[in-house]
């Protein structure tokens, strides 16, 4: 076969990015990775990172899709992510691609996407030149039996669980964010109802129902009628190690009292429609600090890998939003366009899926009647609990919710250049 020659050939991918200016200089800050190379054939794969100094790295395995994950203290990757885009080469290779980046403050991760079952044969960092700090991290994989890989996945899950149980609560943390509060009363509706009061009452009911399941830890971003700015709400959720963030609001539309029903919003750089853009602008306006919608990105999404992780989180927010709409449909009246997206500041955390629920329109008499009724509140909250249960049943506990489980990047194929930022 003509392919035999290629089969035997050792495919080598090399990239050394900016080796001088970001350099091996200085011990301050995390070690810098300046180059990554993958060489592989059907019998082995060797992935090498050149580092400004040694790191301790440990390998574990994750299934479906099958990956080898290498965790280490924070590393500043000055390497073009495109080096890891190998593409599928069935029968020719063990590795489909690899990704790397910041997993959490102080922690970095390399994710190796496997083309078939492979187990680590070596994970070691050694000085490039004896006596010098610069080191080479070598990750060597060998083909292994699918059952051996499955065993590795199981043992990895055990060690990951024991590690995280010390640091994080065992139950998924759901952060409920009643909009507005204090001097910011939000929308004002028919009969003088105030958004801040209604949404707080709703969140309190939702918390009560979620607590009753004993399956979740619930954190509220405000526990009474106080002003909390949007960044702080996100910061509260991050600190709580949130698995899911639900912001609750109610809208008003003075021009058209007939508009009504619940809407679920997810975050997007571009609004799904003019109405979504209007609502995001209004909700964001509660936050008086300058900088607007892009702030979080600038502060925290410095790395393209964070951007990719954020895309993955957004995918899960969409899945949750879809399910939430389906469940709310049974319990209450939905807006004519119940699933929308726009640039909500409060939904921008890249670590966990976030949605914003506009319960209804305070400019619509029927909605006001619903939203102020304890029966409606209990029913709508129960519908949300149903979807929350379904979501976590499908995607598991926080450790296996993809925002934290699969590491830095959803897919090497998506590792487009930093054009988004």
Do residues 43 and 142 lie in contact, with contact meaning Cβ atoms separated by under 8 Å? Answer: yes
Kindly state the smallest distance separating residue 366's Cβ from Zn ion, in Å: 19
Do residues 49 and 34 lie in contact, with contact meaning Cβ atoms separated by under 8 Å? Answer: no
Do residues 45 and 65 lie in contact, with contact meaning Cβ atoms separated by under 8 Å? Answer: no
Burial 32-58 (b: 16+ CB within 10 A, else e): bbbbbbbebbeeebbbbbbbbbbbebe
Q: For Zn ion, which is the closer residue by CB, 134 or 281?
A: 281
Q: What is the DSSP letter of 286?
A: T
Q: What is the per-residue DSSP string for 313-331?
A: HHHHHHHHHHHHHHHHHHH
Kindly state the smallest distance separating residue 357's Cβ from Zn ion, in Å: 10
Q: For Zn ion, which is the closer residue by CB, 179 or 343?
A: 179
The two tokens of residue 364 are 């619509």
Kindly state the smallest distance separating residue 159's Cβ from Zn ion, in Å: 43
Q: For Zn ion, which is the closer residue by CB, 94 or 176?
A: 176
How far is the C-alpha of 177 from the C-alpha of 228, rounded, in Å?
A: 10
Q: For Zn ion, which is the closer residue by CB, 171 or 284?
A: 284
Q: For Zn ion, which is the closer residue by CB, 179 or 323?
A: 179
Q: For Zn ion, which is the closer residue by CB, 199 or 218?
A: 199
How far is the C-alpha of 277 from the C-alpha of 271, rounded, in Å?
A: 5
Q: For Zn ion, which is the closer residue by CB, 61 or 279?
A: 279
The two tokens of residue 96 are 């489909």
Burial 225-245 (b: 16+ CB within 10 A, else e): eeebebbebbebbbebbbbbb
Q: For Zn ion, which is the closer residue by CB, 249 or 309?
A: 249
Query: Is the link from the previous residue into 211 a cis peptide, with omega within 30 of 0?
Result: no
Residue with nearest beta carbon to Zn ion:
249
How far is the C-alpha of 63 from the C-alpha of 58, rounded, in Å?
A: 17
Interface residues toward Zn ion, by CB under 5 A: 179, 186, 249, 283
Kindly state the smallest distance separating residue 184's Cβ from Zn ion, in Å: 9
Q: For Zn ion, which is the closer residue by CB, 95 or 279?
A: 279
Do residues 397 and 364 lie in contact, with contact meaning Cβ atoms separated by under 8 Å? Answer: no
Cα–Cα distance list, 315 to 131, 172, 407 (Å): 47, 18, 15
How far is the C-alpha of 265 from the C-alpha of 309, rounded, in Å?
A: 20
Kindly state the smallest distance separating residue 196's Cβ from Zn ion, in Å: 8
């Amino acid at each position: 076969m003509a392919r035999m020659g290629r089969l035997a050939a050792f495919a080598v991918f090399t990239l050394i990015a900016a080796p001088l200016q970001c350099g091996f200089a200085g011990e301050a800050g995390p070690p810098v990775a300046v180059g990554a190379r993958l060489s592989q054939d059907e019998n082995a794969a060797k992935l090498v990172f050149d580092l400004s100094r040694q790191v301790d790295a440990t390998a574990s395995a994750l299934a479906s899709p099958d990956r080898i994950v290498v965790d280490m203290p924070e590393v500043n990757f000055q390497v073009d992510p495109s080096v890891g885009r190998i593409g599928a080469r069935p029968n020719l290779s063990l590795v489909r691609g690899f990704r790397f980046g910041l997993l959490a403050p102080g922690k970095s991760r390399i994710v190796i996407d496997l083309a078939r079952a492979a187990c680590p044969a070596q994970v070691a960092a050694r000085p490039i030149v004896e006596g010098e700090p610069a080191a080479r991290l070598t990750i060597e994989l060998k083909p292994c039996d699918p059952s051996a890989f499955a065993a590795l996945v199981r043992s990895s899950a055990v060690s990951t669980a024991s590690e995280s149980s010390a640091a994080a609560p065992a139950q998924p943390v759901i952060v409920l964010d009643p909009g507005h509060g204090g001097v910011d009363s939000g929308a004002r509706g028919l009969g003088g109802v105030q958004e801040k009061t209604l949404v707080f009452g709703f969140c309190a009911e939702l918390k009560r129902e979620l607590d009753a399941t004993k399956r979740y830890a619930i954190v509220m971003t405000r526990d009474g009628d106080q002003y909390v700015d949007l960044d702080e709400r996100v910061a509260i959720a991050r600190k709580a190690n949130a698995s899911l963030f639900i912001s609750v609001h109610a809208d008003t539309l003075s021009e058209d009292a007939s508009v009504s029903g619940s809407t679920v919003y997810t975050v997007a750089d571009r609004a799904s429609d003019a109405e979504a853009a209007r609502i995001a602008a209004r909700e964001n306006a509660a936050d008086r600090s300058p900088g607007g919608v892009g702030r979080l990105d600038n502060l925290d999404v410095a790395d393209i890998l964070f951007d990719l992780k954020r895309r993955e989180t957004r995918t899960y927010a969409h899945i949750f939003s879809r399910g939430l709409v389906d469940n709310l449909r049974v319990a209450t009246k939905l807006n004519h366009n119940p699933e929308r997206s726009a640039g909500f500041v409060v939904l921008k955390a890249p670590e966990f899926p976030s949605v914003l629920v506009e319960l209804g329109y305070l400019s619509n008499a029927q909605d006001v009647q619903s939203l102020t009724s304890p029966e409606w509140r209990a029913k709508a909250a129960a519908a949300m609990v149903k979807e929350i249960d379904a979501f976590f049943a499908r995607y598991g506990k926080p450790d296996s919710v993809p925002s934290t489980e699969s590491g830095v990047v959803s897919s090497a194929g998506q590792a487009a250049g930093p054009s988004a930022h």
